[in-house]
Amino acid sequence: MGAYLVRRFGLMLLTLFGISVIIFALLRIVPGNIVDILFDSAGMVDPAEKARIARDLGIDLPLPQQYVAWVSGIARGDLGFSYVSEKPALAEILPRIPITAKLAGLALTFSVLIGVPLGVISAVRQNSWIDYALRVLSLSGLSLPSFWLGLLILTAFVTWTDSMPIYSDRPESLWDTLLLYSVPAAAVGFRSSALVMRLTRSSMLEVLRQDYIRTARAKGASRQSVNYRHALRNALLPVVTVIGIEAAFLIGGLIVTETVFNIPGVARFLVEAIRARDYPIVQNLVMLIAVVVVLVNFIVDMLYAALDPRIKYSG
Amino acid sequence: MQRHTRLVFASTLLLAGIAAGAIAQAQEPKRGGVLRMYQRDNPPSASIHEGATFSVNAPFMSVYNNLVRYDTTKAEDTLDTVIPDLATKWSWSADNKALTFTLAPGVKWHDGKPFTSADVKCTMDLVQGKAQDRLRTNPRKSLYDNVLEVVPNGPLEVTFKLGRPQPSLLALLASGYSPMYPCHVSAAQMRTNPIGTGPFKLAEFKQNEIIRLVRNPDYFKPGRPYLDGIELPIITNRSTAMLAFIAGKLDLTFPTEVTQQVYKDLMAQVPNAVCHMGPVNVSTNLIVNRDKPPFDNADLRRAMALTLDRKAFNTIIAEGQAKIGTTMLPKPEGDWGMPEAMMQTIVGYGPDVAKNRAEARKLMEKNGYGPDKRLAVKISTRNIAAYRDPAVILIDHLKEIYIDGELDIVETGVWFGKVARKDYSVGLNLTGNSIDDPDQSFFENYSCNSQRNVTGYCNPELEKQFVAQSQETDIVKRRAMVWEIDRQLQEDVARPIILHNSSGTCWHPEVVGFRPARNSSYNRYRFENVWLNR
């Protein structure tokens, strides 16, 4: 187990190094840089002034030098300065992390709390009206783009309640937080919950046909015990994998949800930073997301062992 | 009978008096409250002199003051509606080559330091690129080429010395783009933590989240501003913003963001909302790179101007609400728009589109093009709807004259640089004017050396006329000169104007004292006279 952990850790570092090179290179390949954009927004181009600003921002340096400066900065905890706000990148990024973390956490919770039970119900009541209804629901969850769903929800709120659940001020109490985040979390978690529901259903159906389930029934185990103690635990393995992957994919859904619900989180900030070619913000945010994804995958791998004792990690 | 008449008369007078009193009381400005207006995007900085979009001056104009400003109670921003701001009065020298301002006493910057004539000189030196400190971008530097020197005469008087008479200098200085900056604050700090003399101070500027302004208690105008503050949540999604306005979370929409279609929706859902819909002094135009073959051929450019069906553009894009005109904003909103009869004689403006296109096809055929030899060209445009939609219609119109256009959509961040480098053949562009004055439009977009002249049009003889009209003090004579220049620009196919766009701003009836101008979208965000009737 120890050797496995060390190997996995080394692999994580290698992955992060690869990502850092790719994101650094990709950002420089995309046409236009912050200097172009600054001048573009002013509607004029003065080569001498552009060169001066490029020098001030350090983007006239050779690319390897820029890369080393960035990576060594991360090692020192210095993420550089945002080209747009001219504030430390860390000061711009840090306050946004809890916002997105809460939203993502709630969305993931929503998708699990809705997806798993409904998937189980759909499986144990296979081909009943409730199964058909849940399958239609899950299909719509997979088909509806989250930005459209978000706008529908907002429109419904404005029409029926004359209020609107968009972010305005930082919530002070836990209740305020839940109120503010639950609607966008539901909008973004709906798709994940549909996926989790369908996967739980198919996984449960497969497990319910196994011999040991028949044996358990033959031994007189109750329906509850068979479905939830014997079947569900074994059916959850692929579901956990998907939840892990979904956690990573969630960031994509959050970009539009944060925009539609006007939530000042990391995802929306990342898009704005890409538009402005704000390299320090984009590079560091993508690295942060990469670290989260790699860690989540690592945790999922560890969970396998907890869920299925047959899985052993050896050196 | 006579007694009865007297009684009725007296009662009417009494009722009228009560009504007048009630109206006066209703219109008595109330102190307090926070105005909430959404901000459509994250402004690149708080430094108005470095911006060329009202994404910068709409949120930050109230942090600053100008020497002079436009009277916001009037319908239009013109030379006649310029009123004092930091300058209490001004006078022209006999030769009209020196403009002297007397400054208001006791004005303080937000950090408590006194405002003096030295700050006016510092500001103009910064804008003209003469100062040691530099603006990161300086889009309006060329507008002040005629200002030779700014001379302080003691702390409360300053003179602008000009190379030639230029009556429009006052109009330029009254624009929302002409705030005064302090000498003692760097250009870099003005981007993030601006210090002004304005009615509001910047309290918070959170990128992509919110801009908060609070009342300046030491504002030099007694009793102003009425509001305690202004909050501008940054809402980039227009649908979300409009829903927030409908839900009453916002008092005011971002200026000119209300399209004709959105206006109908808003009116259906918030029937008591007050909306100003109309021209915004932004034109949709055709740009042709005249240095790039085969468009270096004047016949081809003329043919392209002839094939434009402006009425079709207007119907499809603006439900007929946009204005058809030439370079200057058409009347009645525009002060310099040429008469309809004169416009009808210009190439491509005649009402018979079929006849225009027949003439265009002849020009194309003369140059070897025809049904069997069509010209393929990329039509470049910026990747936002206001550009893309008319570009698609343009492609359709060009098909009529043997030109097959292919839409080349360019990301916003790359668009301006691309056209400024003239890295395009044919494009569909939008051009905004901060003030309704020919000096701003002609020198900025059509003079040979302007960095914003994106088509490469250069006519030194016509440029002499730009200067001649600029120094003409007789408004009637100047107007005739402007029409002639404008006519020549269209005949030369310098940058065929397709439409003058129309859109709007809406606010809830509780917002009192806000009035957008009919001929500009850039000058009315000081908010010092705005109050909330709650």
Query: Quick check: B15 pLDDT over 50?
Result: no
For residues B43 and B101, membership in a common domain is answered with: yes
Q: Which residues of A touch B244 (CB under 8 A)?
A: 164, 166, 262
Give yes or no for a cis peptide into A31 (omega within 30° of 0): no
Q: Mark yes or no for CB contact B52/A41 under 8 Å.
A: yes
Query: Quick check: B12 pLDDT over 70?
Result: no
Average pLDDT, rounded, for chain B: 91
Does B384 contact chain A (CB < 8 Å)?
no
Q: Which residues of A touch B233 (CB under 8 A)?
A: 168, 262
- What does the pLDDT look like over A19-70, one tens digit per residue? 999 989 988 887 777 877 777 666 666 677 778 878 877 888 899 999 998 9
Mutate to test the interface with B, among A157, A163, A262 (most CBs of B within 10 A): A262
- The answer to which of A181-185, B171-175, B464-468 has the lowest mean pLDDT is A181-185
CATH of the domain at B232: 3.40.190.10
Q: Mark yes or no for CB contact B417/A32 under 8 Å.
A: yes
Of B236, B249, B451, which has the smallest distance from its Cβ to A259's Cβ? B236
Query: Quick check: A173 pLDDT over 60?
Result: yes
Residue B108 burial class via C-beta count within 10 angstroms: exposed 0-12, middle 13-18, buried 19 and up: middle
Mutate to test the interface with A, among B193, B232, B243 (most CBs of A within 10 A): B243
pTM for the complete prediction?
0.84
**A23-44 core/surface letters (b: 16 or more CB in 10 A; e: else):** bbeebeeeebbbbbbbbbbbbb
Q: Is residue B21 part of a domain?
A: no
The mean pLDDT value for B340-355 works out to 94
Is the four-CA dihedral B401, B407, B413, B414 of positive or negative sign?
A: negative
Query: Quick check: B209 pLDDT over 60?
Result: yes
Q: Which residue is closest to B244 within chain A, CA to CA?
A: A164
CATH of the domain at A131: 1.10.3720.10
Q: Which residue is closest to B422 within chain A, CA to CA?
A: A45
Higher pLDDT pick, A85 / B73 = B73
For residues B352 and B329, membership in a common domain is answered with: yes
What percent of chain A is predicted at pLDDT more than 70?
94
Mutate to test the interface with A, among B416, B424, B440, B443 (most CBs of A within 10 A): B416
Residues of A contacting chain B (CB within 8 angstroms)? 31-32, 36-46, 49, 52-53, 82, 84-87, 92, 151, 154-155, 157-158, 162-164, 166, 168, 259-262, 264, 268-269, 272, 275-277
For residues A204 and A271, membership in a common domain is answered with: yes
pLDDT at residue B19, rounded to an integer: 47
- What does the pLDDT look like over B240-275, one tens digit per residue? 999 999 999 999 999 999 988 899 999 999 999 999
Q: Is residue B16 part of a domain?
A: no
Q: Is residue A160 part of a domain?
A: yes
For residues A68 and A198, membership in a common domain is answered with: no
Quick one: tokens of B464? 């002499």
What percent of chain A is predicted at pLDDT more than 90?
20
CATH of the domain at B346: 3.10.105.10
For residues A50 and A147, membership in a common domain is answered with: no
For residues A120 and A87, membership in a common domain is answered with: no
Q: Is residue B258 part of a domain?
A: no
For residues B134 and B220, membership in a common domain is answered with: yes
Q: Mark yes or no for CB contact A45/B451 under 8 Å.
A: yes
- What does the pLDDT look like over A246-300, one tens digit per residue? 877 777 778 888 888 888 898 889 988 888 888 889 889 888 888 888 888 888 7
Q: Which residues of B touch A170 (CB under 8 A)?
A: none
Q: Is residue A312 part of a domain?
A: no
For residues A49 and A182, membership in a common domain is answered with: no
For residues B432 and B515, membership in a common domain is answered with: no
Of B139, B209, B416, which has the smallest distance from its Cβ to A264's Cβ? B209
For residues B306 and B231, membership in a common domain is answered with: no
- Dist CA A35 CA A44 (whole Å): 11
Q: Mark yes or no for CB contact A39/B416 under 8 Å.
A: yes
pLDDT at residue A159, rounded to an integer: 86
Q: Which range of residues forms the domain containing residue B495?
A: 279-502
For residues B77 and B147, membership in a common domain is answered with: yes
For residues A150 and A49, membership in a common domain is answered with: no
Interface size A-B, in CB pairs within 8 Å, comes to 130
Q: Is residue B19 part of a domain?
A: no
- What does the pLDDT look like over B138-169, one tens digit per residue? 888 888 989 999 999 999 999 999 999 999 99
For residues B395 and B339, membership in a common domain is answered with: yes
For residues A143 and A260, membership in a common domain is answered with: yes
Count of CA atoms in the C-beta half-sphere (13 A) of A182: 6
For residues A44 and A125, membership in a common domain is answered with: no
Q: Which residues of A touch B416 (CB under 8 A)?
A: 39-41, 43, 45
Query: Mind telling me how many Å the CA of B172 is from chain A's nearest CA?
Result: 17
Q: What is the DSSP string of B7-76?
A: HHHHHHHHHHHHHHHHHHHHHSPPP--EEEB-BSS--S-S-GGG--SHHHHHHHGGG---SEEE-TTSSS
- Which of A94, A121, A155 is the C-terminal boundary of a domain? A94
Q: Mark yes or no for CB contact A40/B452 under 8 Å.
A: no
Query: Quick check: B1 pLDDT over 80?
Result: no
Query: Mind telling me how many Å the CA of A164 is from chain B's nearest CA?
Result: 6
Q: Which residues of A touch B137 (CB under 8 A)?
A: 38-39, 41-42, 44, 49
Q: Is residue B9 part of a domain?
A: no
Q: Is residue B26 part of a domain?
A: no
Q: Which residues of A touch B235 (CB under 8 A)?
A: 166, 262
Question: Cα-flanking dihedrals φ and ψ of residue B35, to 5°?
Answer: -80, 135
- The answer to which of A133-142, A225-234, B3-12, B234-243 has the lowest mean pLDDT is B3-12
Looking at the structure of chain A, the number of domains it has is 2
Q: Mark yes or no for CB contact A260/B207 under 8 Å.
A: no
Query: Quick check: B26 pLDDT over 60?
Result: no
pLDDT at residue A291, rounded to an integer: 87
Of B247, B416, B452, which has the smallest distance from its Cβ to A164's Cβ? B247
Of B42, B237, B412, which has the smallest distance from its Cβ to A259's Cβ? B237
Q: Which residue is closest to B142 within chain A, CA to CA?
A: A44
Give yes or no for a cis peptide into B225 (omega within 30° of 0): yes
Q: Is residue A315 part of a domain?
A: no
Q: For strand B403-410 and strand B497-507, is the pairing parallel, antiparallel, or unpaired?
A: unpaired
| Best mean pLDDT range from B15-19, B400-404, B447-451 | B400-404
Query: Quick check: A233 pLDDT over 50?
Result: yes
Q: Mark yes or no for CB contact B417/A39 under 8 Å.
A: yes
Q: Is residue B50 part of a domain?
A: yes
Residue type, B301: R
Q: Is A94 helix (H, G, I), strand (E, B) or coil?
A: coil
- Dist CA B20 CA B87 (whole Å): 35
pLDDT at residue A227, rounded to an integer: 85
For residues B496 and B513, membership in a common domain is answered with: no
Looking at the structure of chain B, the number of domains it has is 2
Return the closest-CA partner of residue B223 out of B231, B232, B215: B215
- Which of A44, A60, A94 is the C-terminal boundary of a domain? A94
Quick one: tokens of B272? 């008591």
Q: Mark yes or no for CB contact A42/B50 under 8 Å.
A: yes
Give yes or no for a cis peptide into B294 (omega within 30° of 0): yes
- ipTM passes above 0.85: no
Query: Quick check: B414 pLDDT over 60?
Result: yes
For residues B197 and B71, membership in a common domain is answered with: yes
- Dist CA B430 CA A304 (whole Å): 58
Q: Mark yes or no for CB contact B52/A42 under 8 Å.
A: yes
For residues A192 and A284, membership in a common domain is answered with: yes
Average pLDDT, rounded, for chain A: 85
Higher pLDDT pick, A53 / B115 = B115
- Which of A78, A94, A110 is the C-terminal boundary of a domain? A94
Q: Mark yes or no for CB contact A44/B243 under 8 Å.
A: no
Q: Mark yes or no for CB contact B136/A38 under 8 Å.
A: yes
Q: What is the DSSP string of B365-424?
A: HHTT-BTTBPEEEEEEEESSHHHHHHHHHHHHHHHTTTEEEEEEEE-HHHHHHHHHTT--
- What does the pLDDT look like over B81-105, one tens digit per residue? 999 999 999 999 999 999 999 999 9
For residues A108 and A89, membership in a common domain is answered with: no
Give the model's confidence band at B25: pLDDT under 50 very low, under 70 low, under 90 confident, else very high.
very low
Q: Is residue B261 part of a domain?
A: no
Q: Mark yes or no for CB contact B420/A45 under 8 Å.
A: yes
Q: Cα B454 to the chain's mean position, in Å?
A: 19
Q: Which range of residues forms the domain containing residue A196?
A: 97-307
For residues B91 and B228, membership in a common domain is answered with: yes
Q: Is residue A226 part of a domain?
A: yes
Higher pLDDT pick, B78 / A164 = B78
Mutate to test the interface with B, among A29, A44, A161, A269 (most CBs of B within 10 A): A44
Higher pLDDT pick, A52 / B342 = B342
For residues A281 and A172, membership in a common domain is answered with: yes
Does B186 contact chain A (CB < 8 Å)?
no
Give the model's confidence band at A9: pLDDT under 50 very low, under 70 low, under 90 confident, else very high.
confident
Give the model's confidence band at B14: pLDDT under 50 very low, under 70 low, under 90 confident, else very high.
very low
Query: Quick check: B345 pLDDT over 70?
Result: yes
Q: Mark yes or no for CB contact A53/B421 under 8 Å.
A: no
For residues B525 and B467, membership in a common domain is answered with: no
For residues B514 and B477, membership in a common domain is answered with: no
For residues A71 and A126, membership in a common domain is answered with: no
